[in-house]
Every structure is written in C-alpha cells, then in structure tokens.
Amino acid sequence: MSVEVGDSAPDFELKDQHGTPVKLSDFRGEKTVVLVFYPLAFSGVCTGELCQIRDELPTLGGDDVQVLAVSVDSVFALRAWAEQEKYQFPLLSDFWPHGGTAQRYGVFDEEKGLALRGTFIIDAQGVVRWKVVNAIPDARDLDEYRKALAGL
C-alpha cells in the first residue's frame, strides 16, 4: 500500500522521544505537517538530514508547520539522539508493531526492517499535498520542502 498525493493521510498514534503519544489527527485544522520517515537514529545521513531540518525549521513555515520525524528506533534511542542533537520537534517511535506506520505509508523496506527516506507534506485538512521517497542512502533536498510548502 502506498499513500499518494491527494489521498487522506492515514492517521496514526506513536510515542515521541519522551514517551508522549502523538496523533497525526491532533494537528488537523491547526497545522500543515511535514511527516519525515528516516531509517535509523544516529546514522550519518539521518543525522545530517534532521540537523538541517532543526537548523532550517524557521524557514519551513514557522508556527504553521509541524515536523514529525518517524523511525523504527525505540523511544529510548530517540530520546538519547534528540538530547545529543538538540532536536526540538517530535521524534516518533514506529517500533511496535515494527514499522507499522511506515508500512501504511508505503515506505517500509521489509528486507532491511526499516523505513525508506519518505516525506509527506499533509495540509491542515489531512490531505497529502506533496511526497518524495528516496532510497536509504540518498538524502532529501530541504529546498524541495520549502517549494512544496510555499505552494500550499
């Protein structure tokens, strides 16, 4: 199954790096969501991508945009990584059922047991307005996020 532009984004509830449940639907009617799936915490490309998001967050739409980053890592690993890198946005654990949310979005690599680099921009009504899926070693371009967000 794959989520495409124009689809309603499947709702989910995952725990963030503090163990607090976060639902996608909590942002409906409030904010545009940049939903970022990434393979693993502490890996080089993932750290580079999320640090760039951390550093450029104000240019991605400010208070009207919520970044949610999702991996199969445990809450405990995500907390350690968030503290190390000073991430202020939620890092969500898709640990159990293993990769269940990534599977629903069509970005789970069954063979490797982790998410591909998939990004979905979801408007305040819960509709997917933009998406990109890269292979595991291929970093995404943050300028593409800016262009997509500017077009909403």
Q: Is 51 a catalytic residue?
A: no
Give the tokens for residue 66: 């919520």
By three-state DSSP, how is residue 146 classified? helix
Q: If you ran DSSP here, which 8-state letter would residue 126 be given? A: S
Short-list 75, 71, 90, CA closest to 23: 90
Which member of 46, 65, 78, 121 is catalytic?
46
Short-list 90, 112, 110, CA closest to 36: 90
The catalytic site residues sit at: 46
